[in-house]
Amino acid sequence: MGELDLVVRARRAVLEGTERAVSVGVRDGVVVELAAYDAPPGARQTVELAADEVLLPGLVDTHVHINEPGRTEWEGFRTATRAAAAGGVTTLVDMPLNSIPPTTSVQALDVKRAAAREGAHVDVGFWGGIVPENLDQLAGLHDAGVMGFKAFLLPSGVEEFPHVSYGQLRRALELLAPLGALTVVHAEDPDVIDHAAAATGPSYAGFLASRPQQAEDQAVARLVDLARDTGARVHVLHLSSATALPAVAAAQAEGLAVTAETCPHYLGLSAEEVPDGATPFKCCPPIRGTANRNLLWEGLRQGVLTCVVSDHSPCTPDLKQLATGDFGLAWGGIASLQLGLPLVWTEARRRAVPLTEVVQWMSRGPADLVGLGHKGRIAAGAAADLVAFAPDQDFTVEADRLEHRNPVTPYAGRRLTGVVRRTWLRGTPTDSDGPRDSGEARGRLLVRQP
């Protein structure tokens, strides 16, 4: 037993779903001891949180599009992981598309890993992709340690990542089920979308009508059937339509391996407040009305939805069509990696939802989804990924103070509650508050745990 490297003392800490005072002992980047707040063990360094701070486990964001290499001008590992660290996210999982190459082969995964290794400020894992022509690559990607596989049921927005038909997805699930691999799906039904009027111009109502709830509801119902037929583990990405929740709940009650996530923008924003022409709010599926949003909160509190993750999907300002405000032409995606916790917490607080539940959805839930049992919790044996969070401090979002590459955000000027004051990755402070690009990158590349 060597000396502890670090002890963090907190009058308030979120542990095992409850809040209590604690002294967290860290050695070699791992939590090795949870001691009484009043009886901290000796250590080389002791940090005492301020009276208005709560100690949280680092957030785990399993839905992040980093785009490097190939579209690094949209977002890269260095900028995205700096934004993550500033927002208390210590682990993220990169989506397989929008980079070139997309992560649809082991060689492409190697390319992504080489890019990430250079600049990651937090730990990074990878999703593999399912496209029509790569079913022979899935076992190799699984063996190479991807966290699971992503598929689209309709055009993804980039031509090098084509979508699969339900039949093609079924064949992929049949291959993946015996491996125990997780498949995550962008679930909007292409036929329903094709029958809706396409979005053009600055009307938000027009855009919303082009992505009807029935598209999600129909796709989720088909996915549940595929999970039942194949025995594969299926996860619904960025669920926006609350009328799809009963199908997810019924699948879970039936014992199927079906899970679902939602995102901060669906929880914190409503269609009624999106101005016409405000393309920074464009994402797919879209931000829907207030009544729908209230039902998403219900779905979380009832445990039907188990994760809140960013779907951080940035691009360059020109692709957001800021000048024309055209919802038909603008790239769909909201960059919010750095703001997820305050966005969700601001709204949770208004609804009297405790911080412990928010932490469950943003740390433990996503960690468990991808099998990272040592992440997303403050517990003996877990990584010492920690966040000092001031839950009662307000701030105003300033786009140019966000760390992601292009300062485009629908949240500019918004008043939020909850400030991430400090982040530790495996017991070491992240350097997000240091001068830009001067810090030492400390993130590691993660592989799926057996």
The amino acid that residue 219 corresponds to is A
Task: Indicate the helix (H) or strand (E) that contains 419.
Answer: strand 415-425
Residue count, binding to Zn ion (CB under 5 A): 1
Strands 54-57 and 89-94, how do they pair?
A: unpaired
Options 111-119, 153-161, 310-318, 412-420: segment touching Zn ion (CB under 5 A): 310-318
CB of 386 to Zn ion, least distance (A): 27
Query: Between 217 and 311, whose beta carbon lies closer to Zn ion?
Result: 311
Least Å distance, CB 182 to Zn ion, is: 16
Q: Nearest approach, Cβ of 261 to Zn ion (angstroms)?
A: 10
- 237 vs 390, beta carbon nearer Zn ion: 237
For residues 62 and 218, which CB has a smaller minimum distance to Zn ion in the complex? 62
CA-to-CA separations, 308 to 20, 32, 66, 91, 324, in angstroms, rounded: 23, 28, 18, 14, 31
Neighbours of 448 (CB within 10 A): 19
Residues 332-351 that bind Zn ion (CB under 5 A): none
Span of 97-105, 308-316, 365-373, 401-409 interacting with Zn ion by CB under 5 A: 308-316
Nearest residue to Zn ion, using CB? 311
| 216 part of the interface to Zn ion, by CB under 5 A | no
Distance CA 55, CA 410 (A): 28
Taking the complex as a whole, the smallest distance from the CB of residue 95 to Zn ion amounts, in Å, to: 5
Closest CB 76 distance from Zn ion, rounded Å:
17
Q: Which is nearer to Zn ion, 285 or 299 (CB)?
A: 285
Nearer residue to Zn ion within complex by CB, 332 or 391: 332
d(CA 308, CA 324): 31
User: How many whole angstroms separate alpha carbon 81 and alpha carbon 64?
Assistant: 10
Comparison of 142 and 312: residue with beta carbon closer to Zn ion: 312
Distance of closest approach, residue 98 Cβ to Zn ion, in angstroms: 9
Q: What own/partner pairs with CB < 8 Å and gap ≥ 24 does 317-325 have?
A: 317/406, 317/408, 319/74, 320/279, 320/280, 320/282, 320/408, 321/279, 322/279, 322/280, 322/408, 324/202, 325/202, 325/276, 325/277, 325/278, 325/279
* Nearer to Zn ion (CB atom), residue 189 or residue 311: 311
d(CA 105, CA 81): 24
Q: Quick one: which of 145, 71, 94 has its CA closest to 331?
A: 71
- Closest distance of CB 72 from Zn ion, Å: 18
**Residues of span 129-168 touching Zn ion by CB under 5 A:** none
The CA distance from 54 to 393, in Å, is: 12
311 binds Zn ion (CB under 5 A): yes
Least Cβ distance, residue 87 to Zn ion (angstroms): 17
Q: Are β-strands 30-35 and 18-27 bridged in parallel, bridged antiparallel, or unpaired?
A: antiparallel
Query: With contact defined as beta carbons under 8 Å apart, do 384 and 426 qualify?
Result: yes
Our CB check for Zn ion shows the closer of 184 and 419 to be 184
Query: Does residue 94 bind Zn ion (CB under 5 A)?
Result: no
DSSP state of 75: -
How far is the C-alpha of 74 from the C-alpha of 83, rounded, in Å? 14
- Region from 76-84, 275-283, 305-313, 433-441 binding Zn ion, contact rule CB under 5 A: 305-313
Stretch that binds Zn ion, among 54-62, 306-314, 321-329, 427-435 (CB under 5 A): 306-314
> What Å distances lie between residue 303 and 115, 261, 296, 297, 351, CA to CA?
36, 10, 11, 10, 17
Give the shortest CB-65-to-Zn ion separation in angstroms: 6
Given the rule CB under 5 A, which residues bind Zn ion?
A: 311
